[in-house]
């Protein structure tokens, strides 16, 4: 309670579910995404349920310069971010490396990796000064295990894992914790994006199985944040019960 949590990709799926959990836990919220109407609706809904301040920012996280300006531009009461959840991310297309769409690959690297680096660069200096904070990376099983057809996405999440590990090393000796969350398949809009808007293909991914829901990942995210200060949950691999690898 009383902490400030910044969540990117808060307009749907895991980010939205985490925003609800953080609000329930009494955090002030900074919610970031591109879809303004979704963010405004979420802000209103959360404030109807919980008595917490919510600030929204409509931003494409690929704009690294805008990210660098964020700490100075935030209203003073939200500026000291305690929990940073750079969750915005996407998987575009299913392509073997010899057919990789380079525009898709660049979008995945920019969104899943560079934006996260920029957010960490922007918000950890204040955490270091205050000697408190929590970096929560929304990685993936794809950050541990690469699979056919996912060259761009798997490379992006492996890069994110490396960055999280470096962050953990860099911040040894501070009270700042670093957690990498590695979900298996979670039923969100994520697979619709992957099939470039083709909802029927996205639905087929989950046919006949009981997948994880965004709320399941949000529960685990909150778990990592609510351990005693001396406990750092470094990595969290979360599968649906039907699943045991990325394949």
Among 40, 45, 64, 90, indicate the residue that binds ligand NJP (CB under 6 A): 90
Q: 128 vs 238, which CB is nearer to ligand NJP?
A: 238
Q: Does 62 bind ligand NJP (CB under 6 A)?
A: yes
What are the tokens at 142? Answer: 């794809």
| Choice between 27 and 116, CB closer to ligand NJP | 116
Active site residue 187: no
Which of helix, strand or coil describes residue 92? Answer: coil
Contact 151, 94 (CB under 8 A): no
Measured distance CA(135)–CA(84) in Å, rounded: 5
Q: Which of residues 25-44 bind ligand NJP (CB under 6 A)?
A: 33-35, 38
Task: Considering the candidates 50, 147, 157, 223, report the single residue annotated as catalytic.
Answer: 157
Contacts with ligand NJP, 134-163, as mask; x by CB under 6 A: ----x-xxx---------------------
Size of the site for ligand NJP (CB under 6 A): 32
DSSP, residue by residue, 96-130: -GGG--HHHHHHHHIIIIIHHHHHHHHHHHHHHHH
**Pick 38 or 132: Cβ nearer ligand NJP:** 38
Does the active-site annotation cover 247?
no
Counting contacts by CB under 6 A, is residue 11 touching ligand NJP?
yes
Residues 242 and 237: their CA atoms lie apart, in Å, by 14
Compute the distance between CA of residue 137 and CA of residue 13 in angstroms, rounded to an integer: 15
- Who contacts 17 (Cβ-Cβ below 8 Å, separation ≥6)? 213, 214, 215, 217, 218
**Pattern 164-203, ligand NJP, x by CB under 6 A:** -------------------x-xx-xxx--x----------
Tokens of 129: 């000064």
Q: What does the angle CA 205 – CA 207 – CA 211 come to, to the nearest 5 degrees?
A: 75
- Which of 137, 193, 182, 179 minimizes the C-alpha distance to 160? 137
Stretch in the footprint of ligand NJP (CB under 6 A) among 41-49, 117-125, 133-141, 221-229? 133-141
The residues in 220-239 that bind ligand NJP, with binding defined as CB under 6 A, are: none
Contact residues: ligand NJP, CB under 6 A: 8-15, 33-35, 38, 60-62, 87-90, 111, 138, 140-142, 183, 185-186, 188-190, 193, 214
């Amino acid at each position: 309670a009383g902490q400030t949590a910044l969540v990117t990709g808060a307009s749907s799926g895991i980010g939205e579910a985490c925003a609800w959990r953080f609000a329930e836990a009494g955090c002030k919220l900074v919610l970031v995404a591109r879809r303004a109407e979704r963010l405004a609706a979420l802000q209103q809904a959360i404030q109807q349920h919980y008595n917490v301040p919510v600030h929204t920012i409509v931003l494409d996280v690929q704009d690294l310069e805008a990210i660098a300006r964020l700490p100075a531009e935030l209203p003073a009461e939200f500026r000291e971010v305690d929990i940073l959840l750079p969750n915005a991310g996407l998987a575009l297309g299913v392509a073997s490396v010899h057919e990789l769409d380079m525009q898709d690959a660049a979008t995945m690297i920019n969104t899943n990796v560079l934006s996260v680096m920029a957010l960490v660069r922007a918000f950890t200096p204040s955490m270091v000064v205050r000697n408190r904070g929590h970096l929560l990376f929304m990685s993936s099983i794809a950050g541990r295990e690469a699979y056919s057809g996912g060259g761009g996405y798997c490379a992006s999440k492996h890069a994110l894992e490396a960055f999280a590990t470096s962050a953990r090393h860099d911040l040894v000796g501070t009270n700042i914790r670093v957690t990498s969350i590695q979900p298996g398949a979670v039923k969100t809009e994520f697979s619709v994006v992957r099939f470039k808007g083709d909802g029927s293909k996205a639905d087929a991914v989950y046919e006949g199985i009981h997948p994880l829901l965004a709320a399941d990942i949000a529960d685990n995210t909150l778990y990592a944040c609510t351990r005693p200060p001396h406990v750092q949950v470094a990595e969290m691999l979360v599968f649906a019960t039907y699943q045991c690898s990325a394949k």
